[in-house]
Amino acid sequence: MNFHQLIPQVDSIIQGSSSVDEKLLAICTLLEANVEYYNWVGFYFRNGDKEELKLGPYVGAPTDHTIIPFGKGICGQVAVSNQNFVVPDVSAQDNYIACSITVKAEIVIPIFVNGENIGQIDIDSNTPDPFTEADERFLEYVCAQISKILS
């Protein structure tokens, strides 16, 4: 399924009557099931007033990294840069936190509520260099829709 076909399903999840966490998990499930190179899909959110991220809903292998300090790993860097981070080859990154040895690439897109970076969607891929600008645009759309249910 291509991104164009996934958008109405994202919209339908967002507009549903379930809780925020149920919607976030449904989005993880939708993306992991329909994009073959998305192998771990999850959310991290700022942990209260702390300078750290806390793991939210996710689909994929369990991770030990339920708390990530700002600045650490790909996720922690996005928490401070406020920018998309596309990693075609995780082995080339010095500041990277490995969750699984099968992971080859990663993409992290921040979520903004009222202009503030409050979290992110994090996707790991077992395929080398799989992400294009189409992934960024699609995931930016997903994050913008999520922002509406968080504000």
106 touches ligand SME (CB under 6 A) = yes
Closest approach, Cβ 111 to ligand SME, in A, equals 15
Backbone angles phi, psi at 76, to 5 degrees: -65, -30
Stretch that binds ligand SME, among 11-19, 30-38, 67-75, 138-146 (CB under 6 A): 67-75
Packed helices 3-15 and 133-150: angle between N→C axes, nearest 10 degrees: 10
Is 73 buried (19+), middle (13-18) or exposed (0-12) by CB count in 10 A? buried
32 touches ligand SME (CB under 6 A) = no
Closest approach, Cβ 8 to ligand SME, in A, equals 28
Q: Which value, in Å, is the radius of gyration of the alpha carbons in the chain? A: 14
Stretch that binds ligand SME, among 6-14, 25-33, 71-79, 139-147 (CB under 6 A): 71-79
Please compute, for residue 25, the number of CA atoms within 13 A of its CA located in the half-sphere on the CB side. 7
86 touches ligand SME (CB under 6 A) = no
* DSSP line for 18-74: S-HHHHHHHHHHHHHHHSTT--EEEEEEE-TTSSEEEEEEEESS--S-SEEETTSHH
135 touches ligand SME (CB under 6 A) = no
Stretch that binds ligand SME, among 7-15, 20-28, 69-77, 135-143 (CB under 6 A): 69-77
Residue nearest to ligand SME (CB): 73
Residues binding ligand SME (CB under 6 A): 40, 63, 65, 68, 73-76, 96-97, 99, 106, 122, 124
